[in-house]
Structure 1
Amino acid sequence: MYNFIIIFVFLLLGIILQKVKRFPTNSHKGINNIVIYICLPALALYYIPKIEWSNELLYPISMAWIGFIVSYLFFNLLGRRFGWSKKLTGCLIITAGLGNTSFLGFPIIQALYGEEGMKTAILVDQPGSFVVLSTLGILVATLYSTGSPNGFHIAKKILFFPPFIAFLGACVMNVLNFDFHEYIQYFLQKVGSAMTPLAMLSVGLQLRFDKRSQHWKFLGFGLLYKLVLTPALIYLLYVVILDQHSTAMQVVLMEAAMAPMITASILASTHGLKPRLSSMMIGFGIPLSFITLVFWYFIVQFI
């Protein structure tokens, strides 16, 4: 209950601070940097060395890849069917194909499933959502905006991104069966725990509601895919077809149902892929996801 209170209090605080004229308009960027460059690496270094690796871990890792690839196929099909521009199609592929598995997902998973759930959530996010964003996401953004991708630029983005470096280091620690001293673990845990209030404050500061936009139909397609079709696809594939039933699978399905990723929206906007629609995917997707997540949480109780 405490974590849920934190989620809504800091989300509301961020929305309120938007109305304060003297509050810096780009303050969310500094908060995002703290979360990305400090909190996320701390969480990776704390949780991943403690994970017992098995073939079942392929399920949380592959979820984001499946969601993005199907998003590419789905919106390309719709784009050709309805004659959409490349920029519109690219925007929807990226913003609907990637979920908010860290900023929004970590606080919710921690509130619902505690420490054990976070071990699975880390795998969904780091080798899953993050690597998809840094490779396929950048590839799509480049192809649908300006032309051919720069392979060196993509590799540099991945290899020098602090959470990914921390992820690789934590994987090496896991293989070597090594973990930090308990005092360092305590420090990492405390630093990582700051992510919940900071992430929700950042989300609140970035929420935008453009009621006069001409993108409502496209917004509907994007949120339908992200909040309904993606978790339904993962449920069908993992639970019905592959017959996977575990608490970890509940976490995977809940992460699949998260709202669109903020960083993906930023990526689409910076490449000129319908910036207003990108913002709407976040502004309407996050509040709406609190409703759809209740539905999916009810569904996963039967896994």
Structure 2
Amino acid sequence: MENIVLVLFSLFLGYILNRFRIIQKDGAIALNKFVLYVSFPAIVLLQTPKINFSLELMIPAIIAWIVMTLSAFLILFLSKLFNFSKEVTGALMLVAILTNSSFLGIPMLSTYLVGQDFMPYLLIYDQFGTFLAFAVYGTFIVSIYTSKTKVTFKLITIKVLTFPPFLCLIIALFFVGVEFHPTIAKVLEIFAITTVPVALVAAGLQLQLILPKEDIKPSYNTFINQSLKY
């Protein structure tokens, strides 16, 4: 129950902070960067050395790739069926395939599951599944559908290796089976705990109960244009 209260209160707090202009919506960028560069890497460094790697543990990453692959083919089929424009197809190939399994996944799992037993599976799913897809697949899609970004092996490698949680994952793999000094473990634990409230407050800052007209108009025009073709 307390986890559900934490989720709802954090989202509400972020919304109120933005509503009363205490923190502007742009403040979510700073909070998200804190989670990306501090909180989530702390979780990776804290939990990865405790992982007992096995085929079973890799199942989440395999499932992630299967789901994303099937979803991509489904989007391409629907795009061909409804004759979507190149821009709409490109957008759907990103937003309908990729997911934020860490920023939203950790708060949701913490709400419904007791303890931290899920964390190794989430780390594998996120880092070897959705993040690699974001870095590799996402880069290719942007290149194909915008014709502005030239995809190179160097570009993808830099994108992967400079992503803070993934970099921490590589470092943490060298400490598998090693028990950190209590002081180090405690510091990492404190920063790791900030992931859920900070990520949710950042989401609350961007929460809008009513969509602006400028956001509704493009979707409405696309719907009308597609409807007229039939």
- With the length of structure 1 as denominator, give the TM-score of the two structures: 0.67
Which of 140, 154, 157 is the matching residue for 1:155? 157
- Contact kept, 8 Å, 2:68 with 2:98, in 1: the verdict is yes
- Rg (Cα) greater in structure: 2
Select which of 156, 171, 174 maps to 2:173: 171
1:135 corresponds to which residue? 136
Q: After TM superposition, give the deviation of residue 99 of structure 1 in Å.
A: 2.4
Shift of 1:14: 1.4
For residues 69 and 192 of structure 1, do their structure 2 counterparts lie closer, same or farther at Cα, with a shift above 3 Å needed?
same
- How do residues 80-159 of structure 1 correspond to structure 2 at under 5 angstroms? 80-113=80-113, 114-146=115-147, 149-151=150-152, 152-159=154-161
| TM-score (ref. length: structure 2) | 0.86
Q: CA deviation at 1:167?
A: 0.8
Note the C-alpha offset of 1:32.
0.6
Q: CA distance change for structure 1 residues 86 and 55 in 2, over 3 Å: closer, same or farther?
A: same
Aligned mates of 1:203, 1:128 — CA distance in 2: 23
C-alpha displacement of 1:147: 5.0
Alignment match, 2:211: 210
Cα distance in 1 between the residues matched to 2:17 and 2:143: 34
Once structures 1 and 2 are overlaid, which stretch shifts more, 27-36 or 210-219? 210-219
Aligned residues: 217
Judge conservation of contact 1:68–1:93 (CA < 8 Å) in 2: no
Shift of 1:120: 1.5
2:180: which partner in 1? Answer: 180
String of CA shifts for 1:130-155, please: whole Å, max 9, x gaps.
12111111221221112563212222
Distance in 1 of aligned mates of 2:204 and 2:81 = 36
Unaligned runs of 5+ in 1: 220-303
Contact 1:3 1:111 in 2 (8 A): yes
Letter in 1 for 2:200: M
Query: Which residue of structure 2 lines up, in the alignment, with residue 285 of structure 1?
Result: none
The alignment yields a C-alpha RMSD, in angstroms, of: 2.1
Question: Structure 1: how far apart are the matches of 2:220 and 2:171?
Answer: 43
Answering whether residue 36 of structure 2 is matched by residue 40 of structure 1, we say no
Q: Deviations over 1:78-98 (max 9, x none)?
A: 111111112111111211112
Partner of 1:52: helix, strand, or coil? coil
Partner of residue 226, structure 2: none
Q: Percent identity?
A: 30
Unmatched runs of 5 consecutive residues or more in structure 2:
224-230
Q: Is the 8 A contact 2:142 2:149 kept in 1?
A: no
Mark the CA change 1:73 to 1:147 in structure 2 (over 3 Å): closer, same or farther. Answer: farther
For residues 77 and 83 of structure 1, the distance between their equivalents in structure 2, rounded to whole angstroms, comes to 10
Cα distance in 2, alignment partners of residues 206 and 142 from structure 1: 28
CA distance in 2, matches of 1:122, 1:197: 19
Amino acid at match of 2:85: S
- 1:249-288, Cα deviation, whole Å (9 max, x unpaired): xxxxxxxxxxxxxxxxxxxxxxxxxxxxxxxxxxxxxxxx
Could you tell me whether the CA contact under 8 Å between 2:24 and 2:205 is conserved in 1? no
CA shift, 1:182, in A, is: 2.1
Matched letter for residue 126 of structure 2: D
Q: Which moved more, 1:95-104 or 1:208-217?
A: 208-217
Residues 19 and 118 (structure 1 numbering): CA distance in 2 closer, same or farther, change over 3 Å?
same
Alignment of 1:1-303 (within 5 A): 1-21=1-21, 23-113=23-113, 114-146=115-147, 149-151=150-152, 152-174=154-176, 177-208=177-208, 209-210=210-211, 212=213, 213-214=216-217, 215=219
Q: Partners in 1 of 2:58 and 2:119 — Cα distance? A: 16
